[in-house]
Structure 1
Amino acid sequence: MAQPFYITTPIYYVNDIPHIGHAYTTLACDTLARYKRLAGDDVYFLTGTDEHGQKVEKAAEQKGLAPQDFVDQVSQSFRDLIPAINATPDDFIRTTEIRHKQAVQHLWDELVKQGAIYLGEYSGWYAVRDEAFYGEGELVNGKAPTGADVEWVTESSYFFRLSAFQDRLLELYHQNPGFIAPQSRRNEVMRFVEGGLHDLSISRTSFKWGVTVPNDPKHVVYVWLDALTNYITALEYPDQGGNFGKYWPHAIHVVGKDILRFHAVYWPAFLMAANLPLPKQIFAHGWWTNEGEKISKSLGNTIDPIELVQTFGADAVRYFLLREVSFGQDGDFSRQQLINRYNSDLANAYGNLVQRVLSFIHKSCDGVVPKPQDLQESDQDLLNACMITTQLETDMEALAFHKYADHAWQIIAHANRYMDEQKPWGLKTTDVPRMHTILYALADTIRQIALLTQPLLPVASAAILDQLAIPLDQRKLVGNPLKPGTPLPEPKGVFPRYVP
């Protein structure tokens, strides 16, 4: 029976156009969603845009646009990113949608009913760029720890009783060690909570671009309470049956490490206060630098994911970003390293294997899948190397995409060594049955590799499976062996070598 699985990107803030970090998070979620679908699970994959707050209001003003017109334009640029990087979300949510505003206001009312919200006055340091409040002790050289400018704010505000949830949050982290991943991020959150929690200002009166607080139109809902609610809006909250009941207990939020606190502290506290179930896991990935430098508009070194895809193809970008670093750690983007990865791993190792084998079959086996005879130990070893292993499943479940890719490339290396050792080209006139057996073992290995690489390289994998005449209904992670005698189309190169 198919198991429900729910995976979300953060909803991306629309004060600017998409960059490499947005593509990275979406690609990671897409890879896991594709894997789960191929494994037979019932997947719901959500992404979208966060469109409220003072930062958006100011950005719209600077552009001379009404906030709604501004967010319509920028949100579309995030929607356009999805097909460009070949992502496959099931829903794209916008916080300016009616369904979302209704969900936020319903959650607010529930928090009021539970006595978790009270009216007071806020005075403190606020960073517009981060849409976050900071204590005096958190400032670094007069700025937020993120480097954002802060301003002193005094205004009427509704507060959430976050301080009342310190013990419950710590109990959650202790009882569910995998709730926050990776381990280093879990430790960081626990230190923050152990240091003491203060009640959280959750409304603003100094601007209007947000969801109106029920029964008090002078206030708009704090952008993070608004934004975080998107994950349940998409599952038809406040209806707690249907999709909410089906998917929510299996939710995994994938976020950048800079917004972990909001997801791992505030969000579970909001849910606890409203007597709602918690997500299964929050996974925080690292940041990318560019050639060793922090990426910023002021340095002029931002990386446009659309340009990368147009230059190298979506598969190559997916592969590089997910193979280059351990997901959860920081990574350094290097265009030359992307080219090196493309040429060595994709063109030379994988693409060349496919081209050599299928071209040989086309020329020497009348273009049909050859019939194997007696399998020798070396043949069986190669075929066994492709089996889905518990470790492979564990790697993907742990979002260890680089390990999953390493495993696939170990099989590719094994197949290349096998071909060089067996030398089927030398058997054309001396032992045709043995040549057929070797080529069958290689072709079926390529089939299994292509099945495994579908989450990482969907376009290339589909092209390879097409060249092996694999029906669409046999492209799950575990498929049927190649049928001898099956006609194959003329092979075409999948990864042409990149020459700058």
Structure 2
Amino acid sequence: MFRRLPLHPLRLLSPRALGCRHVSTAKPFYITTPIFYPNAVPHIGHLYSLLIADIYYRYHALKDPSRPAQFVTGTDEHGLKIQKAAQAKGLPPREFCDQLSTHFRRLSQTANISYTRFIRTSEDAHEEAVQHIWRELDAQGLVYKGTYSGWYSITDECFYPDGAVTHIPGSPSQTIATETSSPVEYTTETNYMFRLSAFREALLDHYTTHPNSIFPQQYLTDTIAILSSPLQDISISRPRSRLSWGIEVPGDPEHTIYVWIDAVISYLTAIGYPWKNADSGFSNGWPVDLQIIGKDIVRFHAIYLPAILLALKLPLQRQLLAHAHWTSSQKKMSKSLGNTTDPFDVMGAYGVDPIRYYMAIAGGNFRDDVDWSDAQVKKETTELRNILGNFLLRVTSSKIRGIIKGAREKGVLEPAKDRRYEPLSDALKVLPGQVAKDLESLEVSDAIKRIMEVVRLANKILTDVEPWNGDSPAVTLTSFNTSIEALRVAGICLQPFIPDTAKKLLDSLGIREEERTWAHADEVGVAGGLVKGVKLFEK
């Protein structure tokens, strides 16, 4: 082990930089994933949503340690798909959901997802809240009974208007939902309807005046296009004879509340809705600061849920991040095609943090579908080990430490001024701010690539300087100190992405827990304790 001297005289840090916590009156930062539909075991897309939310939850905890935060995920357990899947297994729907919900909790635990609340829509409190909202909407004349005709998808559990389906002559299903490619069939039912049309202008005004409310831009453009034409009222119930597994419509035991209305309300009930007053909602975290969703459910989160919120006189979500899908050989992953990737298998094969790293760097631009590639996983995870893990071992080698120790035993050793390290020092000064800007612009891939570029630069300079040759102990000391500083700053910035590895790295540098906030990454020369070389990756 070896103690690193600070690069420069230390400045006194502010209480915020020291990570001091105090009672905050700020609205908690609130982030959500989709409420997952557990009709089958989790797949890689579920892990993707969880990972992106976890990155932002951890980042905000580092950026503003005094601000409380809520991170909600969970399972959407009602609907026809669940009912049929449970019947196929010979199980009551609730027992079936109990089993599958456990898999989603286990996925979060295995992947080191730091959620604060796991909601299940089969919870009694959620059912009561959904019925409360139904009564609120009904009291305003926004719910009426009518005959609804439209294209219904069992897979998606929703109706689609004519403009949202595609007719494919000669295909087995003939007609599919344009958004999801799920088969649809034309259905006529007597259902309860929600006056969605009453909110078109208000929603259109919101999105045209809040250009950052949906990311990437293409989904905001699509939403504005939908809202620029008349909206149809939507069905919000199904006959009980067709769908028995769900929340009963208040006052009408012959109807079940439509599963998607039930599901999107979970973001409210997860933080205690109905609240006593608006202040209670604010102090619990509403509105959502960032909702992570898949691109196939934008309409439900950008139109249906906001319309309900407007009706309830609640603030709209602040920002939606709609991510693309993971594919296999450029085809959508599907259990029926046998081309899904099991998240437990890949985390077991490569390690949790390497998979988190791969998914963030390969899938963190959100605009286009990403093809899962085992070859690419191996390439990216090998680079992570080589660039980060090997760099730590090289810097903390017994050869480098021996040169410094021997020189100090002979007298005072001061680091040399070596211009070769100026590009690295300059890069480290701006790295935390640049990474923060990337993350706040929802450019996850750019953020992690930027960190690794600086570690690559540090590796290159170390190779060029050759501090292990012992020609100048003062140069060796400069190389050691600057390289350790690069690892410290990179380690802090990597915490949201690869938390266990970053912790192991910062532990090895002797950085105290309270000196790992984002503000500390901006501070030059925060002294560590005893520095030791450790193996960051076991596999």
TM-score bracket, shorter-length normalisation: over 0.9
Q: 2:370 aligns with which of 331, 341, 344?
A: 331
Deviation at 1:59, TM superposition (A): 0.9
Equivalent residues of 1:236, 1:244 under 8 A apart = no
Q: 1:383 aligns with which of 425, 434, 438?
A: 425
Deviation at 1:331, TM superposition (A): 0.7
Q: d(CA) in 1 for partners of 2:499 and 2:537? A: 13
Instruction: Return closer, same or farther for 1:375/1:116 CA change in 2, 3 Å cut-off.
Output: farther
How big is each residue's C-alpha offset from its partner over 1:407-431, in whole Å with a ceiling of 9 and x where there is no partner?
A: 10111111012212222112x2x42
Q: Which amino acid aligns with 1:309?
A: M
Corresponding residue for residue 175 of structure 2: 143
Q: d(CA) in 2 for partners of 1:436 and 1:82? A: 43
Corresponding residue for residue 72 of structure 2: 46
Q: 2:214 aligns with which of 156, 180, 188?
A: 180
Please state whether the residue corresponding to 1:241 is helix, strand or coil. Answer: helix
How big is each residue's C-alpha offset from its partner over 1:334-357, in whole Å with a ceiling of 9 and x where there is no partner?
A: 00111011112x121111111100
> Is 1:312 matched up with 2:350?
yes
> Is 1:493 matched up with 2:499?
no
Please state whether the residue corresponding to 2:221 is helix, strand or coil. Answer: helix
> Is 1:373 matched up with 2:415?
yes
Q: d(CA) in 1 for partners of 2:312 and 2:492? A: 43
Alignment of 1:221-232 (within 5 A): 221-232=257-268
How big is each residue's C-alpha offset from its partner over 1:442-483, in whole Å with a ceiling of 9 and x where there is no partner?
A: 111111111111111111111111111111111112326666
How big is each residue's C-alpha offset from its partner over 1:389-438, in whole Å with a ceiling of 9 and x where there is no partner?
A: 54322210122111001110111111012212222112x2x422332122
Q: Which amino acid aligns with 1:144?
A: I
Deviation at 1:485, TM superposition (A): 8.6
Instruction: Return closer, same or farther for 1:484/1:321 CA change in 2, 3 Å cut-off.
Output: closer
Deviation at 1:224, TM superposition (A): 0.9
Q: Which amino acid aligns with 1:140?
A: H
> Is 1:405 matched up with 2:442?
no
Q: 2:154 aligns with which of 128, 144, 152?
A: 128
Aligned length: 493
> Is 1:437 matched up with 2:464?
no
Corresponding residue for residue 342 of structure 1: 381
Equivalent residues of 1:235, 1:244 under 8 A apart = no
Corresponding residue for residue 461 of structure 2: 418
Equivalent residues of 1:375, 1:437 under 8 A apart = yes
Corresponding residue for residue 171 of structure 2: none
Equivalent residues of 2:511, 2:528 under 8 A apart = no
> Is 1:213 matched up with 2:271?
no
Instruction: Return closer, same or farther for 1:389/1:471 CA change in 2, 3 Å cut-off.
Output: closer
Q: Which amino acid aligns with 2:519?
A: V
Corresponding residue for residue 280 of structure 2: 242
Equivalent residues of 1:114, 1:274 under 8 A apart = no
Equivalent residues of 1:379, 1:441 under 8 A apart = yes
TM-score, length-normalised on structure 1?
A: 0.93
Q: d(CA) in 1 for partners of 2:393 and 2:524? A: 20
Corresponding residue for residue 164 of structure 1: 198
Instruction: Return closer, same or farther for 1:398/1:372 CA change in 2, 3 Å cut-off.
Output: farther
Q: Which amino acid aligns with 1:340?
A: K
Q: d(CA) in 1 for partners of 2:298 and 2:267? A: 15
Corresponding residue for residue 453 of structure 1: 494
Per mean C-alpha deviation after superposition, the further-off stretch among 48-57 and 376-385 is 376-385
Deviation at 1:98, TM superposition (A): 1.3
Q: d(CA) in 2 for partners of 1:159 and 1:371? A: 79
Instruction: Return closer, same or farther for 1:86/1:362 CA change in 2, 3 Å cut-off.
Output: farther
Please state whether the residue corresponding to 1:302 is helix, strand or coil. Answer: coil
Equivalent residues of 1:163, 1:197 under 8 A apart = yes
Deviation at 1:283, TM superposition (A): 1.3
> Is 1:198 matched up with 2:232?
yes
Deviation at 1:172, TM superposition (A): 0.9
Per mean C-alpha deviation after superposition, the further-off stretch among 121-130 and 163-172 is 121-130
Deviation at 1:312, TM superposition (A): 0.4
Q: d(CA) in 2 for partners of 1:94 and 1:244? A: 22
Equivalent residues of 2:326, 2:371 under 8 A apart = yes
> Is 1:295 matched up with 2:333?
yes
Q: d(CA) in 2 for partners of 1:82 and 1:481? A: 35
Ranges in structure 1 where 5+ consecutive residues have no aligned partner? none
Deviation at 1:135, TM superposition (A): 2.4
How big is each residue's C-alpha offset from its partner over 1:14-55, in whole Å with a ceiling of 9 and x where there is no partner?
A: 111100000001001101111111112432111000000111
Corresponding residue for residue 462 of structure 1: 503
Corresponding residue for residue 36 of structure 1: 60
Instruction: Return closer, same or farther for 1:12/1:171 CA change in 2, 3 Å cut-off.
Output: same
Q: d(CA) in 2 for partners of 1:390 and 1:448? A: 11
Equivalent residues of 2:194, 2:233 under 8 A apart = yes
Equivalent residues of 2:327, 2:371 under 8 A apart = yes
The CA RMSD measured in Å over matched residues stands at 2.3
Q: d(CA) in 2 for partners of 1:278 and 1:483? A: 41
Instruction: Return closer, same or farther for 1:198/1:412 CA change in 2, 3 Å cut-off.
Output: same
Per mean C-alpha deviation after superposition, the further-off stretch among 291-300 and 227-236 is 291-300
Instruction: Return closer, same or farther for 1:372/1:50 CA change in 2, 3 Å cut-off.
Output: farther
Equivalent residues of 1:32, 1:399 under 8 A apart = no
Q: d(CA) in 2 for partners of 1:274 and 1:215? A: 20
Per mean C-alpha deviation after superposition, the further-off stretch among 220-229 and 1-10 is 1-10
Q: d(CA) in 2 for partners of 1:398 and 1:385? A: 20
Please state whether the residue corresponding to 1:105 is helix, strand or coil. Answer: helix
Instruction: Return closer, same or farther for 1:42/1:120 CA change in 2, 3 Å cut-off.
Output: same
The sequence identity of aligned pairs, in percent, is 38
TM-score, length-normalised on structure 2?
A: 0.87
Equivalent residues of 2:361, 2:445 under 8 A apart = yes
Corresponding residue for residue 354 of structure 1: 392
Instruction: Return closer, same or farther for 1:30/1:485 CA change in 2, 3 Å cut-off.
Output: closer
Equivalent residues of 2:143, 2:195 under 8 A apart = yes
Ranges in structure 2 where 5+ consecutive residues have no aligned partner? 1-15, 17-23, 169-173
Instruction: Return closer, same or farther for 1:317/1:372 CA change in 2, 3 Å cut-off.
Output: farther
How big is each residue's C-alpha offset from its partner over 1:237-272, in whole Å with a ceiling of 9 and x where there is no partner?
A: 110433544521352111000111111111111111
Corresponding residue for residue 15 of structure 1: 39
Q: d(CA) in 2 for partners of 1:147 and 1:33? A: 32
Equivalent residues of 2:191, 2:238 under 8 A apart = yes
Deviation at 1:140, TM superposition (A): 2.5
Stretches (4+) displaced over 6 A? none
Q: Which amino acid aligns with 1:76?
A: T
Deviation at 1:147, TM superposition (A): 3.1
How big is each residue's C-alpha offset from its partner over 1:291-344, in whole Å with a ceiling of 9 and x where there is no partner?
A: 333311222111000000000011111111110142232111100111011112
How big is each residue's C-alpha offset from its partner over 1:107-162, in whole Å with a ceiling of 9 and x where there is no partner?
A: 11111122211122223321111011022342423323233233343333111001
